[in-house]
Structure 1
Amino acid sequence: MSTTDNFDPAELAKFSDLAHRWWDLESEFRPLHQINPLRLDWIDNLVSLKGLRVLDVGCGGGILADSMARKGAAVLGIDLATKALKVAQLHALEAQTDGVNYREISAEALAVEQPGSFDVVTCMEMLEHVPDPSSVVKACAALVKPGGYVFFSTINRNAKAFLFAIVGAEYVLQILPRGTHEFAKLIKPSELAGYCRAAGLNLQQTKGLQYNPFTRHYWLSADTSVNYMLSTQKS
């Protein structure tokens, strides 16, 4: 696979069609806005983002990238969805967020161009949307400096995740658009950990993300059976 073709055109079209709603707190992206403070604080507590050079892979409309810049990081957000990037750039201008820039480029292509250039790389809610997630993990490892950190978040592949993340979230509660996730593309923690080890990333910490549909409340836990995050460090 080349550095430019690890993407699914249907996935790009899906998120491009919703691009104008990225920063609508009551839109399909509400869950991302709700979980963002949790994952931002988790990352910042582990690495202290202020003054670091950070790459956000699959940044979409810039929810995480913008918030990391507000923590004092110099952030580059990359994505292949043109409309989402334009929304991210517009938001940065409107919100007057310093220290964040965006580019339309794949992680694999940027890894060839700027290897070992970032203190921290984040890749959140993105791996389950590409044909070859291991290729993205490898690129993230190439992009981070030795000793730097790479953070991933995605969804487990099991019966509970199917029930909660797809049936529950997309069809019953309708907090995500139908078709947001495909069960076959979901990734078990053991699989993601394997991709990380193969790329020279050492697993540091795992965190689960849970949701109560009655209180509409999210929290971090040790339960990685549905949504989960990994913290890794480059050898």
Structure 2
Amino acid sequence: MTNADPQELAKFSELAHRWWDAESEFKPLHQINPLRLDWINALSPLAGQKVLDVGCGGGILTDSMARKGAIALGIDLATKPLRVAQLHAMEAGTENVSYQEIAVEALAEQRPGEFDTVTCMEMLEHVPDPASVVRALGTLVKPGGWVFLSTLNRNFKAFMLAIVGAEYLLKMLPAGTHEYARFIKPAELAQMCRDAGLELRSAKGLGYNPLTQRYSIGGDTDVNYMIACRRPL
């Protein structure tokens, strides 16, 4: 069975045509992308690397990593967002970027240890078995390579800010985008990474100021957070 929720795939497919509209439901992704891209590039300089973006959707991060000089592959199981990603790459003239509709576990069987850097952003909270995804990430990355993940913490603050605040009060995201029970505590994600043979190197929080409407990276991992790991040599 594929490690995917059909309702989740349908949810993002319905909005696929709006993926590259920076004022659409995907505005938060466009706003945080430069921050996460710079964080990834600082730890694992992307130029000349072979990189994989898992759960790439419409390709916002995938495209930007290619523009940093990486040979980038984005994978997803939602057909419509992938088509949008491919069309955007053609229209924007982005080089060295490609997309494939395949499960990460299947790709791990086909291409183990092939990628210098692997990213999986804003995806783990949308799949039935996040640990299976993390194991596949650990298989796909080369020894010495980096794996970057982001997701949402599971606590009252995250529920109030990420769901009540972002989806219902500020309407930054469509209502129903997230399901609280699928949020993952940092300690839980760290254990998944260790079980996948990865060493935790860095953890950062992603904060939002509703007054300035700006995002920032810091040490507060209470709500949105990112983890960087390496596969030992």
1:87 to 84, 91, 103: 84
Pairing 1:218–2:229 present: no
| 2:54 equivalent among 57, 60, 64 | 57
Pairing partner for 1:191 from 188, 193, 196? 188
**Match for 2:199: what amino acid?**
N
1:78-129 per-residue CA deviation (whole Å, 9 max, x = no partner) reads 0000000000000000000001000000100000000000000000000000
Task: Give yes or no for the alignment of 1:107 onto 2:87.
Answer: no
1:169, 1:88 → 2: CA distance? 25
Shift of 1:166: 0.3
For 1:61, give the aligned amino acid.
G
Give the unaligned 5+ runs of structure 1.
none
- The answer to whether the aligner puts 1:22 opposite 2:7 as a matched pair is no
SS at match of 2:75: strand
2:224 is matched with: 227
Aligned residue in 2 for 1:132: 129
Q: Deviations over 1:39-58 (max 9, x none)?
A: 00000011110000000000
**Equivalent residue, structure 2, for 1:206:** 203
Q: Which amino acid aligns with 1:112?
A: E
Residue 69 of structure 1: how far off its partner (Å): 0.2
Amino acid at match of 1:60: G
Stretches of 4+ moved more than 6 A in 1?
A: none
CA RMSD of aligned residues (A): 0.4
Q: Per-residue deviation at 1:234?
A: 0.5
Find out whether 1:32 has 2:22 as its counterpart. no
Matched residues, number = 232
**In the aligned structure 1, how far is the partner of 2:85 from the partner of 2:61?**
10
Quote the offset at 1:184 in angstroms. 0.2
Q: TM-score, normalised by structure 1?
A: 0.98
The AA in structure 1 aligned to 2:120 is C
Q: Distance in 1 between matches of 2:210 and 2:9?
A: 28
**Structure 1 counterpart of 2:218, which letter?**
S
1:142 to 139, 147, 157: 139
For residues 77 and 128 of structure 1, the distance between their equivalents in structure 2, rounded to whole angstroms, comes to: 18
Q: Partner residue of 2:65?
A: 68
2: CA distance, partners of 1:141 / 1:15: 26
Query: Per-residue deviation at 1:214?
Result: 1.4
Shift of 1:215: 1.0
| AA matched with 1:13 | A
- Which of the residues 9, 12, 31 maps onto 2:9? 12
Structure 2: stretches of 5+ with no match in the other structure: none
Matched residue SS, 2:35: helix
3-state SS of 1:12 partner? helix
Q: TM-score, normalised by structure 2?
A: 0.99
Alignment match, 1:164: 161
